[in-house]
Amino acid sequence: MPRFPRDPQAVTGRRREGAAITVPDFHNVLTRFAQGCGDPAVSAVAARLAVPLLVAVSGRAGVGRTTLSRALAGAGIRTALAGDDLGGLPDVAVVVIAEAAKPEDRSSVAAWRDAGVPVVVVRNKADLAGRVPADALRCRVADVPVEPAVAVLAAVDLDHEMLTALRTLAAHPADLRSVDAFLDTAHPLPGDVRLRLLRALDRRGIAHSVRLLRDGADPFDLPALLRELSAIHRVLDRIDALAAPVRYRRVRDALTELQGLAAGNDRLAEFLAGDDAVLAVMTAAVDVVQSAGMEVDPGDDAAAHLRRAVRWRGYGRGPVSPLHRACAADIARGSLRLFERRR
């Protein structure tokens, strides 16, 4: 599904005719304005908007929820394990399963949904269970998105000793049928080094690394190759899509605060009415409707902007949710602003 490209440093509408438009991010636009205006109240709104969204990770013992939480944190996501003091509800929940979903997994999914928290199920250790159709899993886990992952491979840090050890294993295969077999069977690799590899990669990560090296991979490329195998990018994309309505509501809340502060503040009022703010709000609205599976024309010529404005104004007048009605209005408003630039 096409998405509007986002570049916090760019101003929308400065591309050649017919090119995909580039739209600014509201947080970045507001932060730059706050830094220049010197108003503590505006800076406070910007600071609240800048707080990263919180993702809670839950799951039964042994499914790898702590490992997945670390992998998500390594990708820049603020995470917490369910059961910790979250200080309120998280913005998104991740329920980790391994192989089949258990009744307690379904109960966890239902609890998050009942609390109004968007949730994704991650089938960790996916390389052990083989390929399971996502539709089949979705039916068993309360009809929520399901993504496979191998979290242990997502954030691997290999030093020189470990890379050398993996090259040794590629040249001299070891018994990887079990942890005990790997540690206890005679092998040129010292036992303490084998233990380090197990702690960093698990048996599966070692096996994947050895296979990649035998296939000709550069040892220094292993972390990136293992990360690709982990499929963590699919989990991150799913979390990003689920968080789109949360981000949009935060933007709208910030706008409400700023509009209250704008009375008697001409500079702030001008900022809120300006292109950067209008188009940045449009960005957040586009994310919401695209995360719901809808397409938004990214064309950057006058005709595309007018078509987009007409389409979304009509959509917002139909039988849609209040959230989508607000998004449609913001997309139409931003599109008309872009149309005026191109006339």
The model's pTM: 0.83
CATH topology of domain 55-150: Rossmann fold (3.40.50)
Spell 117-130 as b/e; 16+ CB within 10 A means b.
bbbbbbbbbbbeee
H or E segment to which residue 122 belongs:
strand 119-124
Could you give the C-alpha distances from 335 to 15, 110, 152, 286, in angstroms and in order? 15, 38, 44, 11
Q: Which of helix, strand or coil describes residue 223?
A: helix
Name the DSSP letter for residue 6.
B
Res. 136 pLDDT band, cuts 50 70 90: very low
Q: What is the pLDDT at residue 139? A: 44
What spatial distance separates the first Cα and last Cα of the chain, rounded to whole Å?
28
Q: Identify the pLDDT of residue 8.
A: 32
Kind and range of the H or E run holding 162: helix 160-171
Section 171-181 average pLDDT: 93
Average pLDDT score, the chain: 88
**Using 50, 70 and 90 to split pLDDT, how confident is the model at 343?**
confident
d(CA 283, CA 3): 10
Burial class of residue 38 (count of CB atoms within 10 Å of its CB; 0-12, 13-18, 19+):
exposed
pLDDT of residue 141: 67
Per-residue pLDDT, averaged over 288-300, amounts to 94
Q: Are 95 and 105 spatial neighbours (Cβ–Cβ below 8 Å)?
A: yes
CATH 3.40.50.300 residue ranges of the chain are 55-150
Of the two residues 206 and 11, the one the predictor is more confident about is 206
Beta strands in 9-118 (DSSP E): 54-59, 78-81, 92-98
pLDDT per residue as tens digits for the range 83-96: 887 888 999 999 99
